[in-house]
Amino acid sequence: MTRSLAVQGGSPVRTRPWPLWPQSAPGAVRALEGVLTSGRWSISGPYQGTESQERRFARAFAAYNGVEHCVPAASGTASLMLALEACGIGAGDEVIVPGLSWVASGSTVLGVNAVPVFCDVDPDTLCLDPVAVESALTERTKAIVVVHLYSAVADMDALRALAERHGLPLIEDCAQAHGAEYHGVKVGALATAGTFSMQHSKVLTSGEGGAVITRDAEFARRVEHLRADGRCLAGLPVDTGRMELVETGELMGSNRCVSEFQAALLVEQLGVLDEQNERRRRNAALLDELLADAGYRPQSTSAGTGNRTYYTYAARLPEGELTDVGLAAVTDALTAELGFPIASCYAPITRNRLYDPRSRGRFALGVQHESRIDPKGFDLPVCEEAARRTVTVHHAALLGDEGDMRDIAAAFAKVVRHGAQLTG
């Protein structure tokens, strides 16, 4: 048999380079230099007579999302833990999370001494399935965390109705969905709180970073205290040289602050987010058509989604094709064709090798707690099926042009056409 696949020494579909990520916004260098010489590199440094970059970003990101409050934080992980604690979640409480997500969806719940209850996802959107949530509720359930995964927005009408019916806070994890909308409202603004990650790979990034947004002033005040060692920002003006953070003693916290460098960068990056999201959306629409022609099934999003965003483009392999080949062999073959990493869908968190509560002594809180957090007890058939058959493309590739999308589609079609070579 002729070995035509690049992974076996054949010619690749493409050798041209791909767009780089991250891409710095036009004003980024000047903004970072401004911080360098400002005399203030953190909100925990003394006030220097001008508004902190952290406050500037908080105001801009709150306005962007159409909410009153934003508290920047060190990471998406920190933001989730802050939001959970601000909801009053603590020892032994159950929190519903999707089984298909980055491991932080489980580890953050463990991190506040609570118990993650993993639920199955919808097979088309890959986001939390409201029916699965309903049947996982117990009298110990104290919150629901929904993740808008890859390029989808979850079924927020159903999840909000369910949370309201049961009097539960609902947290939207928007780490993968900055700028997406649902019935004209930005994600993160649809529930008790929204959390974001600004880690390197995200569509809005400062290398590391995060934020919690909310409409609720009291909730925001709790988040502020929790992320700044129990301090909150004073009302301006503050005398130059004085601390802007006030020690109220209201609520104990930990340091989860972003630096002024991160905040200054985020202000600039936010200015190019919509244009970049639009470019990804245009390219994804073309890819949808091309891949559907090749038999792939692109991830769909809930009815009501507007301004769909693409952190990752996900598609299911064609029905009946490549069934004897492991997904890793398929993604290796696609990667070799394109010179761009094509990845498998997440494994369900319950069997992700990065998720092992027993490896951390801090979660050894007694035999009963340990058996409640044991990930083996969850049955997640839809997550399992998605993990077997879904491939994903990072959004950097979607910043390219029409030719780039045609290359991706050509590689996807080629690997199906020559799939038999991967088994031989």
Quote the least distance from Cβ 199 to ligand PLP, whole Å: 4
Dig out the tokens for 330 from the structure: 């398929």
The answer to whether 107 contacts ligand PLP (rule: CB under 6 A) is no
Q: Strand pairing of 181-182 and 390-394?
A: unpaired
Q: Strand pairing of 193-197 and 69-73?
A: unpaired
Choice from 147, 153, 211, 398 touching ligand PLP (CB under 6 A): 147
Nearer to ligand PLP, 103 or 234 (CB): 103
The answer to whether 76 contacts ligand PLP (rule: CB under 6 A) is yes
Q: Lay out the site mask for ligand PLP across 190-229 (x = CB under 6 A, - = otherwise).
A: -------x-x----------x-------------------
Phi, psi of 281 (to 5 degrees): -65, -45
Nearer to ligand PLP, 197 or 335 (CB): 197
Nearer to ligand PLP, 354 or 364 (CB): 354
Q: Which residue has the tokens 């401004």?
A: 34
Which part of the chain contacts ligand PLP (CB under 6 A), choosing from 14-22, 74-82, 248-256, 359-367?
74-82
Nearer to ligand PLP, 210 or 230 (CB): 210
Q: Which of residues 158-177 bind ligand PLP (CB under 6 A)?
A: 173, 175-176
Q: Whole-angstrom Cα distance, residue 308 to residue 319?
A: 26
In 3D, which of 329, 400, 420, 422 has the Cα closest to residue 14? 400
Choice from 101, 277, 312, 421 touching ligand PLP (CB under 6 A): 101
Choice from 52, 53, 65, 77 touching ligand PLP (CB under 6 A): 77
Q: How many residues bind ligand PLP (CB under 6 A)?
A: 14
Q: Give me the residue whose beta carbon is nearest to ligand PLP.
A: 76
Quote the least distance from Cβ 30 to ligand PLP, whole Å: 26
Nearer to ligand PLP, 13 or 147 (CB): 147
Choice from 52, 53, 75, 262 touching ligand PLP (CB under 6 A): 75
The answer to whether 150 contacts ligand PLP (rule: CB under 6 A) is no
Which part of the chain contacts ligand PLP (CB under 6 A), choosing from 75-83, 247-255, 326-334, 403-411?
75-83
Quote the least distance from Cβ 41 to ligand PLP, whole Å: 20
Choice from 102, 261, 296, 313 touching ligand PLP (CB under 6 A): 102
Q: Which residue has the tokens 């649902």?
A: 182
Q: Whole-angstrom Cα distance, residue 187 to residue 204?
A: 14
Quote the least distance from Cβ 270 to ligand PLP, whole Å: 16
Quote the least distance from Cβ 370 to ligand PLP, whole Å: 24
Quote the least distance from Cβ 289 to ligand PLP, whole Å: 27
List residues binding ligand PLP (CB under 6 A). Answer: 75-77, 101-102, 104-105, 147, 173, 175-176, 197, 199, 210
